[in-house]
Amino acid sequence: MGFREAVAVNKMSAEASLLFRPPRRAVGARWDPRSSKNLTRINRRTPLISELNITRIDTRQDDLGAALAALRAKLSPRGDVVSERGRQLTLDVFGAPLSPQQVVSRICADVQNEGLDAVLRYTQQLDGADVTAPTLRVSQQEMADAHAAADPQFLATVRRIRDNILEFQTAILHQDHVVTRPAGVTLTQRYVPLRRIGICVPGGAAAYPSTVLMTAVPAKAAGVREIAVVAPPTPFGANNTDVLATCHEVGVDEVYRVGGAQAIASLAYGVDGIAPVDKIVGPGNLFVALAKRHVYGEVDIDSIAGPSEVVVIADDTTRPDFTAADLLAQAEHAPGASILVTWSEQVLDATLAELNRQVATLSRSALTVQSLQDFGALILVRDQQEACEITDLIAPEHLHIATDHARQLVAKIRNAGATFLGNHTPVALGDYVAGPSHVLPTGGTARWAAGLTANDFLRSGSVIEYSPAALREVAADVQMMADKEGLSAHRGSVDIRLE
């Protein structure tokens, strides 16, 4: 059952019409009474596209729990949802209607057993690219040429963003901690960088140099020496000038033309030409997410990511045109979940009117409309407290508190990957320039997971040192615990040192 169906189930048509009623007129004065321009903008109904049919929930009368559960199920990487093109490609390659999870298991097993031959075969079959062993790795000359060909202003932007990320990630980097006790006890919690990590950079529908920055730069801040980037052999992936130029600029010299599950398996198991890594990070499609789950334990991973999400909390002071722009920025990921939570019905209506107006101007308008209608929601709550409770239930990847006194509200919310405060802090700042990584927990996992940081590229271990006197001081406690647990050799390892 879909998200809208879950909300409207067992309701009469009159009640359903309340869920999807059109925006009201004359609401602009509540959010900016001084601006006649803004008031006109809200009142005008722009007929550029048909009216958006976004799920609308009123917590005073609708089954919020069922609606949120349905949305979360649709956004999670469960492994049983695939496009018609994906189904046909699966039949063509494997000769059977395998599920995405079965496809990933087959690919990973083949790469583990056959090595590079399987990687190149699947790259040709799934991506239609004739990559060979000599062309698998992007050459140093190609990297340098891409850097030389890149727009100088783009490279200047990359450098500024790199510096922002380094400043923040270095500031939060764990340092060794030493605890000493009398009689000669020294306890150290030690942090060392991982030796080698792999980064997935998507390259299907668009190029993402920002992913290179938000993953490689934190790893560099942690002191990782070897970084291998994998990206599909496409014009938006490993063959993209901006992506290669960004890698070159931040000091990444290993880039491989391979994507999908075969890329994850290559990094995890190692093949001829690609050495295995200790950790894999970075976003990707469903097959990448499932492959990361499959190899976890062989290597570490950052997360099993689903589609992007945002929750915007708004009040009477929030500008609906800003809020609509924030919701559209997530929806254009397609899929992307864009959810408005507010206790102001006027702001909700005005935001819907702005969505209708703004979406028609986007370059990915059709995909954005589909994403809004499949995964978006406008939730009218009773008050601020209920808004915080609902946000904690959703545990969004991105949370934008666009209200008056936003800092007071954030103190009441525990679960969010990254939080943005005020009307002048759009999520795009975190996506691109602020400094914290934009690799964040999705699908409600912000209840227990956190965004990627430089500390995720450190391995922590304890170092313990006792003097003879310190050993004698605690020997009786060791002996007692060893006797209680029936581990005589444990006790013996202390007793022999006391003789």
pLDDT at 107 over 80: yes
Q: Which two tokens stand for residue 456?
A: 């995720």
Q: Give the three-class secondary structure for 380.
A: strand
pLDDT at 299 over 60: yes
pLDDT at 2 over 70: no
Is it true that domain 140-301 has CATH number 3.40.50.2300? no
Cβ proximity of 397 and 310 under 8 Å:
yes
Residues of each domain in the chain carrying CATH 3.40.50.1980: 3-76+307-434, 140-301
Q: Which two tokens stand for residue 351?
A: 């935001």
Across the chain, what does the average pLDDT equal? 87
Q: In angstroms, rounded to a whole number, what is the distance separating the alpha carbons of residues 157 and 114?
A: 42
Please state at what angle helix 286-295 crosses helix 100-114, rounded to 10 degrees.
60
Provide the pLDDT for residue 35: 40
Beta bridge partners of 90: none
pLDDT at 39 over 60: no
pLDDT band of residue 27 (cuts 50, 70, 90) is: very low
Task: Name the active-site residue from 397, 405, 438, 473.
Answer: 397
Q: Which residue is it, tokens 């390259």? A: 203
Q: In angstroms, rounded to a whole number, what is the distance separating the alpha carbons of residues 278 and 78?
A: 25
Provide the pLDDT for residue 84: 73
Beta bridge partners of 196: 226
Of 479, 462, 403, nearest to 191 by C-alpha is 462
First-residue to last-residue Cα distance in the chain: 72
Helix, strand and coil percent figures for the chain, each rounded to 5: 50, 15, 35
Q: In angstroms, rounded to a whole number, what is the distance separating the alpha carbons of residues 479 and 352?
A: 70
Q: In angstroms, rounded to a whole number, what is the distance separating the alpha carbons of residues 339 and 376?
A: 5
Instruction: Give percent of the chain above pLDDT 90.
Output: 71
Instruction: Give percent of the chain above pLDDT 70.
Output: 88
The residue type of 467 is: S
Mean pLDDT of 115-120: 98
C-alpha count within 13 angstroms, C-beta hemisphere, residue 64: 19
Provide the pLDDT for residue 19: 28
Mean pLDDT of 256-278: 98
Provide the pLDDT for residue 22: 33
Provide the pLDDT for residue 50: 54
Q: Give the three-class secondary structure for 403.
A: coil
Query: How many CB atoms neighbour CB 192 within 10 A?
Result: 12
pLDDT at 339 over 50: yes
Q: pLDDT digit string (tens) for 356-393?
A: 999 888 878 888 888 888 888 999 999 999 999 999 99
The residue type of 174 is: H
Task: Name the active-site residue from 248, 294, 333, 398.
Answer: 398
Provide the pLDDT for residue 485: 97
pLDDT band of residue 29 (cuts 50, 70, 90) is: very low
The residue type of 62 is: D
Instruction: State how beta strands 177-181 and 185-193 pair.
Output: antiparallel
Cβ proximity of 89 and 22 under 8 Å:
no
Q: Which of these ranges, 10-24, 163-177, 431-445, 474-488, has the smallest mean pLDDT?
A: 10-24
Provide the pLDDT for residue 491: 97
pLDDT at 254 over 70: yes
Query: How many CB atoms neighbour CB 468 within 10 A?
Result: 11
Provide the pLDDT for residue 86: 77
pLDDT band of residue 40 (cuts 50, 70, 90) is: very low
Q: In angstroms, rounded to a whole number, what is the distance separating the alpha carbons of residues 308 and 252?
A: 26
Q: Give the three-class secondary structure for 355.
A: helix
Cβ proximity of 197 and 220 under 8 Å:
no
Q: Give the three-class secondary structure for 9.
A: coil
pLDDT at 458 over 80: yes
Q: In angstroms, rounded to a whole number, what is the distance separating the alpha carbons of residues 213 and 157?
A: 11
CATH class of 3-76+307-434: alpha beta
Residues in CB range of 151: below 8 A, 6 or more apart: none
Q: Give phi and psi for 248, each to the nearest 5.
A: -60, -40
Strand order in the sheet with 398-402: 55-58, 377-380, 336-342, 308-314, 398-402, 418-421
Mean pLDDT of 263-270: 98
* H helix intervals, 360-499: 365-375, 384-394, 406-410, 427-432, 468-485, 488-498
Provide the pLDDT for residue 67: 78
pLDDT at 352 over 70: yes
Strand order in the sheet with 458-466: 177-181, 185-193, 458-466
Catalytic annotation present for 398: yes
Mean pLDDT of 240-262: 97
Give CA separation, 302 vs 98, 289, 295, 406, 454, in Å: 27, 10, 12, 30, 12
In terms of Cβ atoms closer than 10 Å to its own Cβ (0-12, 13-18, 19+), residue 213 is: buried
Provide the pLDDT for residue 85: 76
457 DSSP 8-state letter: G
Catalytic annotation present for 5: no
Q: In angstroms, rounded to a whole number, what is the distance separating the alpha carbons of residues 205 and 240?
A: 12
pLDDT at 82 over 70: no
Provide the pLDDT for residue 76: 64
Q: In angstroms, rounded to a whole number, what is the distance separating the alpha carbons of residues 450 and 442?
A: 10
Q: pLDDT digit string (tens) for 324-334?
A: 999 999 888 87
Beta bridge partners of 190: 461
Mean pLDDT of 118-132: 96
Q: Which of these ranges, 192-196, 271-275, 303-307, 455-459, has the smallest mean pLDDT?
A: 303-307
